[in-house]
Amino acid sequence: MARRFNKIAFVASAAPEAQSALAALMSRYEHVAPGDADVIVALGGDGLMLQTLHATMGASRPIYGMNKGTVGFLMNEFREDDLFERLESAERSVVHPLLMVAWDIHGVAHTARAINEVSMLRQTYQAAKLRVSIDGRVRITALIADGILVATPAGSTAYNLSVGGPILPLNSPLLALTPISAFRPRRWRGALLPDYGKIEIEVLEAENRPVSAVADHTEFRNVTRVHASMDRSVDLVMLHDPGHSLDERILREQFGY
């Protein structure tokens, strides 16, 4: 039977453990450059997985991660043996990124995509003051907070969870809109939005209350307005061992293990 994946590329973080694993695998398996590969094997933690997905965005090339980092929520267990067999039996998880457009105080538009979340964060001791609109309708006239974020299901267990946002099943057609240390409205804890929604967040008093906008690890400072929406034109494919799919990991996270 023909294999799905014949050409493997390896990438690794700079951590010594990841570099050691990279050397071991490259000595055992034939490999090619990432641009020529059928599949990329990423060695590191979740940060490396995000970097690799960003680097290959638009190519629809699957990424199989093996954990040589700290948390490794998006990764598989590291083993040197039976790599081709593991790749052939792996299950696909397909996610779509958020498209962020942020305008700065000079009126310049900046574009970036986020796999986990788009966040807006205060830059100084002054709390951010934000107006939140969904599909052109104002829903919060003035949110006073450290910031706010929009998380995808794949990113709902990351920063979103740490600031009290909900965990979303991977295939749920939802986005989480979550405030960061909200002061007003006092009791607002966020919202679940349909993933086709168009989110606009305006910065009020931008001169006195400067705000940055961040798409995963790409930051733009002194913004006045941000649009965020899901970009369904881009498929991002991760591979996971049977029984350890991203769906299963998100479900386990909801039960605390």
Same-domain check for residues 55 and 69: yes
**Given a cut of 70, is residue 98 above it in pLDDT?**
yes
Which string of b and e fits 196-230 if b means at least 16 CB within 10 Å? ebebbbbbbebeebbbbbbbbebebebbbbbbbbb
Task: Kindly state the average pLDDT of the residues 95-101.
Answer: 96
Total tally of structural domains belonging to the chain = 2
pLDDT digits (tens, 9 = 90+) for 64-75: 999 998 777 889
Q: What is the mean pLDDT of the chain?
A: 93
Ligand-binding site membership of 149 (annotated) = no
Domain assignment of residue 147, given as a range: 98-230
pLDDT > 70: what percent of the chain?
A: 98
Task: Kindly state the average pLDDT of the residues 155-160.
Answer: 92
Residue 59: inside a domain, yes or no?
yes
Residue 70 burial class via C-beta count within 10 angstroms: exposed 0-12, middle 13-18, buried 19 and up: exposed
Ligand-binding site membership of 197 (annotated) = no
Judge if pTM exceeds 0.75. Answer: yes
Same-domain check for residues 126 and 205: yes
Task: Return the SS3 of 156.
Answer: coil
List 38, 46, 104, 216, catalytic entry:
46
Tokens of 171: 């295939």
For 56, half-sphere exposure in the C-beta direction (CA atoms, 13 angstrom radius) is 27
Ligand-binding site membership of 76 (annotated) = no
pLDDT digits (tens, 9 = 90+) for 171-181: 889 999 999 99
**Given a cut of 70, is residue 135 above it in pLDDT?**
yes
Same-domain check for residues 62 and 134: no
Ligand-binding site membership of 117 (annotated) = yes
195 is catalytic: no
Tokens of 215: 């798409």
Same-domain check for residues 117 and 210: yes
Task: Kindly state the average pLDDT of the residues 150-169.
Answer: 93
Confidence of residue 38 (pLDDT cuts 50, 70, 90): very high
Same-domain check for residues 63 and 122: no
